[in-house]
Structure 1
Amino acid sequence: MVGEDHPDSRSVPEGLGDAVLDALFSQSPVGLHVYDQELRLMRVNTAARLIRKFPIDRLLGRTLPELLRSFDITDPAAVERAAHRVLETGVPELDLTVRFRDRRVPPVETVSSVSVFRLQRADGTVLGLAAALTDITARVRAEAEVRLQNEAAARIGTTLDIFRTAAEFCEVVSPALADTVTVDVYDVVLGGRAPTADALDRDQTVRRVGYRSVAGPDEQGVPAVGEVDVYPPGTPYRTVLDTLAPKLIRRLRPDGGHWLDPRRRRDARILSSRAHSMLLVPIRARGVVLGLACFYRWRDPAPFDRRHLRLAQQLTTHAGQCLDNARLYGRERSAARILSGGFAYAQASAVTAVELARTHLPAGTGGGWSHAIALSGSRVALVAGDTTSGTSRPAAMSELRAAIEALADLDLPPDDILQRLHDLASRPSTPLDPAEPGVGEGTPATCLCLVYDPVSRLCTAASAGHPSPVLVHPGGAVELLDVAAGPPLGQGLAEYALTKRVLPEGSTLLICNTALLTAAGGRESMLSRLTDLFAEPQPSLQAACDSCADALAPKQPSRDAYLLLARTRTLDDSRTKAWTFPNSPESAGQARRSAVNQLAEWGLAQDVIDDTALVVSELVTNSVRYAKGPIQLRLIRDGTLVCEVTDDSSASPHLRRALETDEHGRGLFITAHLTQRWGVRPSGRGKTLWASRTLPTPPALGRGPAAEE
């Protein structure tokens, strides 16, 4: 039994209830809303910050749905349902997270934890609801930033590829922080070199390596990924890179401000997108400035602030480390592959146009290399290079090798490849190692680029001061394949002629560098020794290669020497088929039927026939739409099945993902999904669009000497 002096039995001090109510509505840090049974707002306290921005006489008496419509709320229907549940059941709803965004310009978003409970008399009569609101905006933002940083640590840098690393960074940042994000790096970074202040004073060229926008995956930036650009003086981009201080632009003026110029492509894109706020953060790592990351907001109405700038800096710092890891890896990997001389074998299994054999005679000087690159249409590019003077130049040659692989993948002709390599070598650069000059700084380099087509047996070649290849006929006759030699890369004027020759079936190309030619006593002596050697059959191509090296260089040469033998193969009419169709809508159906009949004649599986028929239909339809003249279709059955469509249009198509409501635009998207590789190469005055897929069982090779064990 409770005694008289128990606290519960004491009388409540007079006025305590009124004091409590007064404190709740005037001093409490927790926002309080009181609603009647009809969910009309009857009273609010001073801590209800979002509400007190509006006149009280406009709020009191308004229903909950009307109040919710006064703000941009994530899910107003959920708030209404919760209020009705509490009113009906009496069970409180605790810790509901509600995001409010007011109607001001710029808008301010607030996150509140809302608890709702029912008000009733002692006899159970329901009077209404009370809602307590606690501002948790700072806590929610901090948690979101931590999650974003954790995601960046897990997702950025999964590969040692600069483009992939930049793409991962963009995927993490957009839309979590920015509506659009771009990553540009100095062009020299892609060559593995670290930009220096002196080099950047001469060349401010940057290349776009990453882009992402909430507008969709098909949206392309300006410049597009892979394209180069220069930041104009007087723009924030240039200022940030010059000062290395990040910049916050809270509000971009609608009229473009004093630096946006609608005549420039990049600025015109910013103005047309109605971007209203931006961040610019330099990308740095290990004391090296790699480029610039730009963040834009155009869909999210809230502008960037200092908090966003700090977060962008933290994310960019991590991305910069990953990008620099990729740069260093590319540099070291290229140098290691050049010094090992082993990358010719790495491609040999993938090349069906030729059989390869290689002999390397190292002298410790480095700089010489050869390479075989598989191209579209079962073709192959044979590339060889050398430094003509000086000591080891692995850094310089790694740049050229990387550039050659990229240019060859674009299916450029040999003379065009050498022209672009000459431009690269002529560009003043900073070396990877301060003790060694870079390309174009006292390191003349020679290069031979040769492309062989096993269907037509056409060999096209161009030379930048490199020794011409030797052609060994099937019967053993030896002749020099006289390729017009232009100047070494980076020296003189870039004038490279294209030499064309249809090779006999089963012939062998012999490619060497100057060191081996010198060891053999010159060109005439080399041809004489090779004639004697090939007068007798050789047990294998590799044995012939080793014998040639012994005959041409009986003593160890003073510089690294190499010898590459490529025995050509031919894909005859049983492996290829070509048709020419007029430029008319009916041609797509005709091409599809012709392809289906040919594939069935080759005995290919039905799923291969169906997929290829769809690819042929899409590619020919694309040519009918954009070309004017006749259209050629060619099928090549090799280790892969290649489909080529040639027309007179020079415009290159681009892969995009069409919407479900679009009537066009799915051709390349379908082709990319049904094949392993696809691409475009120049063809005369037009182009050839090709696609290839691996066959379940590779067929036997066409005519020509079989591969030997």
Structure 2
Amino acid sequence: MNTSDQGRAQDPPAASSGSWTDRADDGSGEWQIGHSLVGQFLARSPIGMAVMDTDLRYVWINDALERLGGVAREERMGKRLSDVLPRLDAAAIESVMREVLETGCPAVDVEYHGRTSADPDREHAYSTSFFRLADDTGVVRGVGYMVLDVTDRWRARERLALLSRVGAWTARTLDVFRLAEGLAEVCVPDLADLITVDLLDSVLQGEPLDRALSGGQRLRRVAVRSADGDAPEGIAAAGRPVQYPPDSPGARCLAGGTPHREALSRQGCEGWIAADALLGPAAADLGPCALLLVPVRTHGRVVGMTTLLRRAPREGFDEDDLLVADEIVGRAALGVENARQYTKERNTALALQRFLLPRRIAAHATVEVATRYLPSGGGVGGDFFDVIPLSGARVALVIGDVVGHGINAAASMGRLRTAVRTLADLDLPPEEILAHLDDLMLGLIAEDSPEERGQAPSELGATCLYAVYDPVARTCVMARAGHPPPAVVGPDRSVFLPDLPPGPPLGLGGLPFESAEIELAEGSLLALYTDGLFEVRGQDPDVGLERLRAALADPDRPVEDMCGEVQSTLEVEGRDDDVALLIARIHGLGADRVASWDIASDPAAVSGARAVAGRCLEAWGLGDMVFTTELLVSELVTNAIRYASGPIRLRLIRESVLTCEVFDTSTVSPRLQHARTLDEGGRGLFLVAQLSRRWGTRYTADGKVIWVEQEIL
């Protein structure tokens, strides 16, 4: 081809010869289009057209392409695309043209983006179709293409994609910080080079929105993101407080509740950043930028602000960008409001949960205890623990997990824990405690039936582990209802899970519970936990149990440190289920703190029982308590001799309190009576109740124990 001839728009490279007539001379009735008409058609087409030779050099372009690219026709002829439009991805475009030349298959609607001389400050999108050109003999002469500016279509598609992505983020999380981070990730770099999201602290805490912003309130930065990875020096980091100066664009945006955009010089942009952070100098090499401020509104109230910034040479924000940003932030604001409501409900449930859990664990001479309660990322659950002092220096260790999340689960947990405490005061064996709790849960389920409530029932049920440690015998009796067994750590650092009878979860009914007894060496550890500690979605539970064993393998550390080690090793923060953890180091009571005597079933033996008890207290340095203790021993031993048969045993235990126990073979429980003035009996237990801190009865395999406790003076 002759490039000098075919460079003229009115002289296209392929056209039919002849003139334009109304009808063909052969009488066919068809139109005949002459060479000049085809030339005008190609040259004046609103679609940009060009012909490239086999070396991909321009040999012809029309007027539309000249305007579209902003490069004169004379400057294009004989040159390649990369020579005349270097700000386009010429290598990729020429690769498509070579493929079309080699295969002959057209490439239709190939889209690419870039800047041209016609509009160097704004990125455009182009849709181009390429096709091979050959002469009448079939010799390939080059490739032609037609190009359209589809920037509006491209930008509309990108904006819809942004809206779709931010909608997906709002539906994915109810955490305000994650929501803000998602908004920042969606907008950078597609909509802005830098974004910050600032919200009121009350929103983050789930508090009610009681007043509108006036522009001067302090906000909290919840997200900041830059296309460069790091925000410029001076921009406040996430978590820091932010307060915009009066009459600044930020303060006006917050007060007015309407979006604001403006172009800033280098000095103006640096000043904005310095004012934004109030932390010192801004980056010196920032350059000019464009600023877009969008208030975050919920229920007509401004609760924060999103700041978007573009750096040169990127074009500034136009009206369409403002509308899109306002729509994106508006959709995110719906998620923020949902998150605020969720946070409010979660905080309420968490406050209820923590109120219903033990506020402090009472100190015990035989058990060192540390506990943790960690709410899940999805909400508060019904996990609980408790440490309950029992008679005879024994201690009950309890842990459980009520099904569900939220306020209902926390309330059910409170009812269950109260029942556990009440039943523990009766000194029942662990398996009987669980049986009574099972009956309680069945009653709660019946109360929650759809017939009573007029709606679908909520899920109810629970698991529980109840363990009683006896420091005198150094044994632990345990029973469980659908709960994982505890981990036991021996002084030799061995970690094992005792083989306990499984037992059904509470609320099934009709199935029995069984207990098992294990011996514990001095200084052993017991770790009670809920399944949220080791069960992670997508992970084998055995992996979690092995990590638990590894975290417990050093029992010499303080129990508080052990709890922290388990928490960090198993990475329990933010899990789908809440976690309760109780770690106890147990100690036995030595022979110097326990004394026992067999008493003959003879009234004459009462005086002897008083005497040995008195001598024991003198040896323990408790001489001031001898008189009262002798009265209690006399009454308890006398009742055992009078109403029971068989052997009788007296035992004194010195711990944080002084305990006096009388064992007999009778299963009849004594009853406190209020004797009338003329009655000769019935005052014994009343006297016991008046002289002791507390008293009670517990049953054994051979009979019962009557016990009383006194404060050590």
What TM-score results when the alignment is normalised by the length of structure 1? Answer: 0.49
Largest Rg, 1 or 2: 2
